[in-house]
Amino acid sequence: MKDVAARQQISKKYLEAFTAPLASAGILGIRRGKNGGYRVLGSRMKSRSGES
């Protein structure tokens, strides 16, 4: 998270403000530790193609 925040030139705290709700909603998975990280688990939103 620290590396992403540095690359995007935003604070780590600001980035965490986005990741916490996504993790709570089951959209983002968080694993702590040596092999930890973040991953997209899926979206609960359904998209439909062909609708205007």
How much is the pLDDT for 23? 87
Mean pLDDT, rounded, for 13-27: 89
Other CB atoms within 10 Å distance of the CB of residue 34: 5
Is the pTM higher than 0.75? The answer reads no
Mean pLDDT, rounded, for 21-48: 79
Evaluate if residue 47 carries a pLDDT over 70: no
Mean pLDDT, rounded, for 6-18: 91
For tokens 């995007």, the residue is 8
Evaluate if residue 9 carries a pLDDT over 60: yes
Q: Is the dihedral of CA 38, 49, 44, 5 positive or negative?
A: positive
How much is the pLDDT for 36? 82
